[in-house]
Chain A
Amino acid sequence: MRQLDFMGKRRITFIASVLITVIAVGALAFKGLNLGLDFTGGTLVEVRYQQAPELDELRGQLENAGFEDVQVQTFGATNDILVRLQQTFDNEVGQQVVDILNTDTNSVQLVRAEFVGAQVGDQLRDQSGLGMLLALAVVMVYVAFRFQYKFAFGALIALGHDVVIVLGIFALLGLDFDLTVLAAVLAVIGYSLNDTIIVYDRIRENIRRSQTDDMPQIFNDAINQTLARTMATSGTTLLVLLALFFLGGDMIHNFSIALILGIVAGTFSSVYVSAALLLVVKLERKDLIPAQKEDDEEEELP
C-alpha cells in the first residue's frame, strides 16, 4: 500500500488551517451568525399560496395592516412564503397574517406559525453556549483520562477548529442558525472527535509497539493505516447526508449543510490538525508508558 507523507506536509496544511480559521473567526466577529427565531424571539409564519404571489405586494399588504419590519421570502417553492415579524403583541398573529393575505383570487393556507418570546430566546442562547462548552469540557476530561493530557489538547484544538469553521461558513453565507443547526454542530463535535480518537488510538498502539522514537514516522504510519477507514466512514456518512440535503426537505436543509461541512472539516482535522499537534506539544514515548501493562496480557488469548 502506498504511504502518504502526511506529517511532512504539515507546515502547508497548518497554514491552510490557520488561514481558514482566521477567515471563519473574522466572519463570526464582523458579520455574526444569522441567528434564527429560536434564539432571537419573534414571529415566523409560513403560508402557502395557490399561485406564486408578488413579494413586494405582499410586504405592502402586511405593512398597511400595521406590521413593522416585515421580512418576506420564498421558502422552497415560489408559492411557499416565509414571513418574519419583529416581536408582536398579539397571540393570534398566524391567523391574522393569513386573513390579511387572503384574497379572492389567490387563496392562502397557513402551513406553520412560530412565536418565540425574546426572553425565551435569550435563555436558549445562553444555555446553548454553555452546553457546547460543557460538551467540550467533558470530552476533554474523558480523552485526558483514557489517553493523556497532550492528546486532550490536540483533540480540543481540532474540535475548536471544526466548530469554528462550520460556524464561520454559516456566518459568511448568512445561513439561518436555528436549533436544528445547533444540534448538527453538537453532532459534529461528536463525529470529529470520533475520527480523532480512531487516529489517536492507532498512534498510541504504534508507539507502544515500535522500537523507534521517530514520532513523525509513527504518526504517518498510523494515519496511513486508518486512512482507508476514515475515508470509508466519512464517505458513507456523506452519502447519507447528501440524501438528506437533496431529499429531506427545507426544514432540515441547514441541518444537513452544517453536518456536511463539519464532516469534511472533521476528516481533514483528524489527519492534519489533531495528529500534527501532538508533534507540536512534543509527545514522547514515556507519556504513554504507565498505561503499558494492560496491553501485554491480551496478546495470548485464543
Chain B
Amino acid sequence: MLNRYPLWKYLLILVVLLVGLIYALPNLYPADPAVQISSTASGAALDQERLDRLTQALEDKDIAIKQSELDGNSALIRLERAGQQVAAREIIDERLGDAYTVALNLADATPGWLQALSATPMKLGLDLQGGVHFLLEVDMDAAVEQRLEANASAVRDLLRDERIRYRDTSIDGRAITFQFANADDRDAARGLITDQFPDFEYSTPDTERGASLTMTFTDQAVQDLQDYAVNQNLTTIRNRVNELGVSEPLVQRQGPSRIVVELPGVQDTAAAKRIVGATANLEFRLEARPDTPEREIETLPFRNDEGRSADLMRDIIVTGDHVSSASRSFDENNRPQVNINLDGAGGSMMSRATRANIGRNMAVVFIEHKTRTRTVMEDGEEVEKREAYTERGIISLATIQSTLGNRFRITGLESASEAGDLALLLRSGSLAAPIYFAQERTIGPSLGAQNIAQGIMSVEVGLLLVVLFMLARYKAFGVVANVSLGLNLVLLVAAMSLLGATLTLPGIAGIVLTLGMAVDANVLIFERIREELRAKMPVQQAIHTGFERAFTSIVDANITTLLVAVILFSIGTGPVKGFAVTLSLGILTSMFTAIMVSRAMINLTIGGRPLKKIWI
C-alpha cells in the first residue's frame, strides 16, 4: 500500500499554514513608542512648519525621532526609545499649551498590506512592557450613605416647603429616621414623602417622646444603586484615563463591585494613582445668616488655613456633577484659577439661588471622600477595618455681586498643578461612590525589558534542545517532527495575535511548555511506527497504522489537558489567564501540526514509493 492524502487535504493544510504565516508576521514589527498630538480647540491647527519646529526642539534635547507624520489636525511623532516618551511629552506640552492634547502612544509599525488584512501584533502584558495594574473596589457602604444623605436633604426641603416641623434627622445603616413633635406631623409627613420616594420602606417605630418615621432603603434599591455606582465609576475612570493619555489602557468591571485598570507603559505611577483614585468634588453653598437655625448650619474649615472656619448652610446649591466643562488658567495676578461651565440644570439652579441672595457670601467647598484602613484585633485575629470619611474644606468664600449664570471661575487654589487636577476631575466627572485600591502592581520598564530578553532566550534554548533531541532520536522522521514544531510555533503566534491575546511572562512559559509537549503527538506516532516495524509490518503499512493507532491516545490525552486549561482560564486572573490561553491554543495547534502536517510531509516525500526500510 501507499500513503497518500487526497489533493484537498494538501490544499487545506497549505491554506491554514499560509494564513498562519500572514497573521504571525506582524509580530516581527514591534510597535514604536510615539507621542500623539491633537488639537482640542477649533482654532488651533497644526501645520508642517509647526511640527518641524517641535521635532527640532525634541532633537535639541537629545530625543531621537524615528519619524513624524501629520494627519489633518493631529500629528504622530515616533521615537526611537520608549524611555523618552514622557520627556518628549513634557517638551511638546510646554510649547503648545492648553489648546492641544498630547498623549503617549504605541504606534503600529505593521506594513500597510498586513494592516489591510487586519493583521496586528500581539499586545505585550504589563510584566513585559512595564506599567501599572490597579484593582479598585467600590465602597458600597459609603455609596449608600451618600445616597441617603442626598435623600435626607431632599426630604428636609420638602418638609420645609410644606411647613411641616421636624426636630431631627439621623442616618443609620440603610435607614433615615426623622423625629417629629407629635404623631399628626409625622402622619402628614409620611403621606407627603411616601409617593415621592418610592425606593424606601416606611415604618413608624415607637419613641418615648414625640413621634418618629423611619425610611429604609429596599434591597432592590441597594442593588440598583450598586450597579449604577459601579457603571458610573467605570465611565468616570475611563474619562480620566483618557485624559492621562495612556496608550491602550484597560478599564473593566470585575465581579459585582470591582474595577480593573491597567495602564501599560505608564512611568509616573503616583500621578496615575492620584488621578484614577481621586474622589474630589465641589459644592457651592451659601454662608449661614446669624438667624439661621442651628440644625441647618455646618461649620467647615478653610482648606489652606486650618485655623479659620465659616458657618455654611447645610443645603447645597449645586455640586460638581453639574459641571459641563472646566479648564485651568491664570488670573491677572498670575494666580491659578479654574474656569467652570455648568450644564443647563446647574446654571438655572445657580442663577435662581444667586438672584435671591445678592450681597450674601457663597462658599466653594472642596470635598474628598477617603478611606483609611486600620488593623484591629478581633477574637484574637488581626482584622482589617475600613472606614470611610469625608474631608470638606472651603476653597473660597466670596460675596455674590450679581446673579451668576452658568459660566464663572473659582480662585483660591494653592498651586497651578492643583488647579489643573481639579479641572481634570471636574471635566471627567466625579465618582458616584468612593473607591479604594484593593490591589496594585507596578512593573518598572527595566524589569519588563529584562523579562522579554530572558523569556525569548529561554524559548530559543528550549526549542533548540528539543530539536536536537528529536533529530538524535528519530533521524529523518525527527526532521519531520521539527518542521511541524516550527510550524506549530508560527500557528500558535498567529492564533494568539488573531484573538488579541496579551503576551505575558507566564504566557511565554506556556509557549515553551507547549513546545516541549507538542512533540508528544509525534513521539507517540513514531514510537508506534517503530513498534509495528519491529513486528515485521511492511513500511507503508506501519506508517499508516502508527498514525491510526496513536490517534485515540493523542485525542484523549489532549482533551483532558484542554479541560484543565479551560478551568484555569475561568478561575485565573491576569497572568494565569494568559498561561491558560497559550496552553489551550498550543494544544490545538500542536494536534494539527503533529497529526495533519507531519503526515502530509511524510506522504509527500516517501508515501508514494514502495520502501523496504526507513530511517526512524
Contact = CB atoms under 8 A, between A and B. Distances in A.
B524 A229 contact: yes
B552 interface: yes
A301 B547 CA distance: 13
Given A89-B374, A138-B563, A240 B527 contact: no
Contact of A193 (B447, B454, B512, B564): B564
B439 A116 contact: yes
Interface in A80-113: 87, 89, 91-92, 94-95, 109-113
Given A139-B563, A229-B527, A239-B469, A113 B372 contact: no
A135 B141 CA distance: 36
Contacts of B505: 251-252
A68 B557 CA distance: 50
Which has the most chain B C-beta neighbours within 10 Å: A179, A198, A244, A301?
A: A244
Interface string B558-594: 1111011101101111011001100100000000000
A112 B443 contact: yes
Contacts of A235: 469
A252 B506 contact: yes
A244 B509 contact: yes
A183 B523 contact: no
B127 interface: yes
Contact of B373 (A87, A124, A130, A239): A87
Contacts of B466: 236, 239-240
Contacts of A1: 534
B527 A120 contact: no
Interface string A58-83: 00000000000000000000000000
Interface string A285-300: 0000000000000100
Interface residues of A, number: 77
Contacts of B568: 131, 135, 183, 186-187
A213 B15 CA distance: 49
Given A113-B440, A118-B384, A249-B450, A237 B559 contact: no
Given A139-B564, A191-B561, A198-B524, A94 B517 contact: no
A243 B563 contact: no
Contacts of A239: 462, 465-466, 469, 516
A110 B270 CA distance: 12
B454 A247 contact: yes
A217 interface: no
Given A183-B576, A237-B517, A249-B451, A111 B444 contact: yes
Interface in B302-331: none
Contacts of B277: 91
A1 B580 CA distance: 39
A194 B557 contact: yes
A89 B564 contact: no
Given A135-B564, A251-B451, A201 B1 contact: no
Contacts of B446: 48, 109, 111
A191 B567 contact: no
Contacts of A247: 454, 457-458, 461
Contacts, number: 226
A115 interface: yes
B181 interface: no
B564 A186 contact: yes
Which has the most chain B C-beta neighbours within 10 Å: A179, A194, A298?
A: A194
Contact of A115 (B437, B447, B469, B560): B437
A248 interface: yes
Nearest to A121: B439
Contact of A95 (B270, B465, B506): B270
A197 B571 contact: no
B531 interface: yes
Contacts of B559: 142
B543 interface: no
B243 interface: no
23 contacts: A91-B273, A95-B269, A95-B270, A112-B444, A114-B441, A114-B442, A116-B440, A119-B384, A135-B563, A135-B564, A179-B572, A183-B568, A186-B568, A193-B560, A195-B557, A236-B466, A236-B469, A243-B462, A244-B512, A247-B458, A249-B455, A252-B506, A252-B509
Given A238-B516, A248-B509, 16 more contacts: A94-B442, A115-B441, A116-B440, A117-B135, A117-B437, A179-B576, A194-B520, A194-B557, A194-B561, A197-B553, A198-B557, A228-B527, A236-B465, A236-B516, A236-B520, A236-B523
Top 10 A-B residue pairs of the complex, sorted by shortest distance between their CB atoms: A131-B571, A240-B516, A237-B516, A243-B462, A240-B462, A190-B561, A249-B454, A190-B564, A117-B438, A239-B465
Interface of A: 1, 46, 48, 87, 89, 91-92, 94-95, 109-120, 124, 127-128, 130-131, 134-135, 138-139, 142-143, 146, 179-180, 182-183, 186-187, 189-191, 193-195, 197-198, 201-202, 205, 225-226, 228-229, 232-233, 235-244, 247-249, 251-252, 255-256, 259, 298, 301-302
